[in-house]
Amino acid sequence: MAITATVLQLRFNTLLQFIAYVVLFRSLLQLRTSEVQAAPVKITLNTLTNCTNGTTFSPTDGELPISCCPEPDVNLNVSVVDFVPKGNGRLRVRKALQCLSGEELTNYTEKLTKGYELLRNLPADDPRSLMQQRRIHCAYCTGSFTHDGLSSADNFTIDIHFNWLFLPWHRIFLYFHERILQTLLGDENFTLHFWNFDNGDDATNSTQGAGCFTPGHFVPEIYNDNSTSTFDPDRANRTLLPDIPVDLSIPGTVLLVNITVRSVEEAVPRNRAAMQYAMATGTVPRDYFGIPLKYGDVRPINTDAGSMEVQPHSSMHRWLGAAMVLANTSAGDPIFYTFHANFDRLWHSWMGIGNNSDLQPTDPDWLDAEFLFWDENKILTRVKVSDVLSIDDLGYSYEKVNDAFWISWPIANFSSLFLAFRCSCVCLVILCDASSSLGEGSDLPCPTITIWPMLPHSHRKVQSSSGSNIRNAINCRKRQAEAVLGRRLKSPT
């Protein structure tokens, strides 16, 4: 009895101690959070006038100093106006470039090349020129801007990459880019069509209704004619080779010189895996959007990015090579805007998949984050993230394309692979073998898996070529996909 009482007493003391620690820890935590008041990132006129030289990371030369502040060329002695979307109540359709043909293609080529000629020829102090747009992108992504009142020496610099500002910022950037082209061309119907690089499906799928369903994974010809203004000579040589698709799964760890040229056969399954991983595996807002970036946060780094920003986005920049690799030069190449239009489309399309719309941040520090941009009339305009969440309001929509290409592929989501194993005779043939040509597959040979779902459930034959255990074969596939994607996948459930 006495012993039990002592034990109880001891436990009671431990409990008291534990409570004391929790209270202490919580008050420390409160101290810490009250030091840094969370608030949205705000780019103000003050931010712009305090712009300093930034840095960018070059895979070949390391950290490079970068100068891309608006001043002295662009006059900052102006007032700021709040954004009003100019959709004009009409919806223009941004279309997939690979499906433009005939007269429509001829007219578009003419307009687009004329537009970039005009953009390239604007005077240096015009904030709408292609050079200044490149520099604006550069200033926003090289730590040239510092959170107002904080010091760049303490790394309180801003980057709109690698965090939840990435998608909305680029949407606004493109919106103004398109408006500027419309204004210079004197055609308010001009529309920035997109490079549908994520579709590598050769089979035109007519069951999906109206839209564009041919593969879009080659560099669009309209941007690859070296005699026109849409071309930039500073791209990797592989972009000029015929029949070479983009590689959407280049890990950040691969040296630029080691980027391999892959055939359609090699690239398609890799791209599909990267797309499915980027678009269909997130379970919390951070997965797709990247870390929250608020006032007073230090400059984010690449591992803070959301799934789509890493692969395919960074992979695309790296695959295009040269000027596209560096944050300070990339937006000087017209192709930047068409491939970013596809990322904007992918975000829009992601919102429509499953319950993804529940995963879009609702934090006021995201919604109220604000940026400054020069509009089509050179007016410095303040835009908030919440202003651009509906592309309808912005006056455009996207042509339907073959997203089913990557949505329906089971390789990245291994639980769906297991579901497939359990699926009943309705499925005709399930080809779990789809990953056998995942690039690095040749270094990592996995047993072939064949399922015969036509047989009655109890007799269904699940075989692996080497006769080895089916789970080993699947784990092997998982490692193979991980090697390709450069990251770990969820375990089969």
Binding site for ligand C2O (CB under 6 A): 137, 141, 161, 170, 313, 317, 330, 340
Instruction: Rank residues 269 and 332 by Cβ distance to ligand C2O and give the closer one.
Output: 332
Phi and psi, residue 146, nearest 5° = -120, 145
In whole angstroms, the minimum distance from the beta carbon of 449 to ligand C2O comes to 37
In whole angstroms, the minimum distance from the beta carbon of 317 to ligand C2O comes to 6
In whole angstroms, the minimum distance from the beta carbon of 331 to ligand C2O comes to 7
In whole angstroms, the minimum distance from the beta carbon of 216 to ligand C2O comes to 17
Instruction: Rank residues 230 and 330 by Cβ distance to ligand C2O and give the closer one.
Output: 330
In whole angstroms, the minimum distance from the beta carbon of 234 to ligand C2O comes to 15
Where are the alpha helices (H) located in 328-384, listed in sequence order?
335-351, 364-367
Residue 169 CB contacts under 8 Å (≥ 6 apart), including other chains: 140, 160, 371
Could you tell me which of 416, 280, 292 has the C-alpha nearest to residue 362?
Answer: 292
Q: Parallel, antiparallel, or unpaired for β 54-58 and 62-66?
A: antiparallel
CA atoms within 13 A on the CB side of 31: 6
156 touches 295 (CB < 8 A): no
Residue 7 CB contacts under 8 Å (≥ 6 apart), including other chains: none
Instruction: Rank residues 42 and 313 by Cβ distance to ligand C2O and give the closer one.
Output: 313
How far apart CA 54 and CA 65 sit, in angstroms, is: 6
How far apart CA 307 and CA 70 sit, in angstroms, is: 31
| Lookup: tokens for 418 | 């297991």
374 touches 380 (CB < 8 A): yes
Instruction: Rank residues 342 and 381 by Cβ distance to ligand C2O and give the closer one.
Output: 342
How far apart CA 242 and CA 174 sit, in angstroms, is: 29
Could you tell me which of 282, 298, 297, 262 has the C-alpha nearest to residue 442?
Answer: 262
Instruction: Rank residues 171 and 294 by Cβ distance to ligand C2O and give the closer one.
Output: 171
| Lookup: tokens for 255 | 């040296």
In whole angstroms, the minimum distance from the beta carbon of 110 to ligand C2O comes to 27
Enclosing H/E stretch for 474? helix 470-485
Instruction: Rank residues 340 and 384 by Cβ distance to ligand C2O and give the closer one.
Output: 340
Burial 191-226 (b: 16+ CB within 10 A, else e): bbbbbbbbbbbeeeeeeeeebbbbbbbbbbebbbee
Instruction: Rank residues 161 and 272 by Cβ distance to ligand C2O and give the closer one.
Output: 161
In whole angstroms, the minimum distance from the beta carbon of 410 to ligand C2O comes to 29
In whole angstroms, the minimum distance from the beta carbon of 382 to ligand C2O comes to 20
In whole angstroms, the minimum distance from the beta carbon of 369 to ligand C2O comes to 16
In whole angstroms, the minimum distance from the beta carbon of 137 to ligand C2O comes to 6
Q: Which residue has the tokens 């760049």?
A: 152
Instruction: Rank residues 142 and 146 by Cβ distance to ligand C2O and give the closer one.
Output: 142
In whole angstroms, the minimum distance from the beta carbon of 177 to ligand C2O comes to 12
User: CA distances (Å), 485 to each of 253, 278, 475, in order?
Assistant: 11, 10, 15
Instruction: Rank residues 256 and 264 by Cβ distance to ligand C2O and give the closer one.
Output: 256
In whole angstroms, the minimum distance from the beta carbon of 328 to ligand C2O comes to 11
User: CA distances (Å), 202 to each of 268, 405, 431, 455, in order?
Assistant: 10, 10, 17, 30
Instruction: Rank residues 143 and 447 by Cβ distance to ligand C2O and give the closer one.
Output: 143
Instruction: Rank residues 136 and 484 by Cβ distance to ligand C2O and give the closer one.
Output: 136
DSSP 192-225: --B--TT----S--GGG-SSB-S---SPPGGG--
Phi and psi, residue 106, nearest 5° = -60, -50
Query: What residues are paired with 464 via a beta bridge?
Result: 449
User: CA distances (Å), 1 to each of 5, 9, 10, 14, 97, in order?
Assistant: 6, 12, 14, 20, 84
Instruction: Rank residues 330 and 381 by Cβ distance to ligand C2O and give the closer one.
Output: 330
Phi and psi, residue 249, nearest 5° = -125, 35
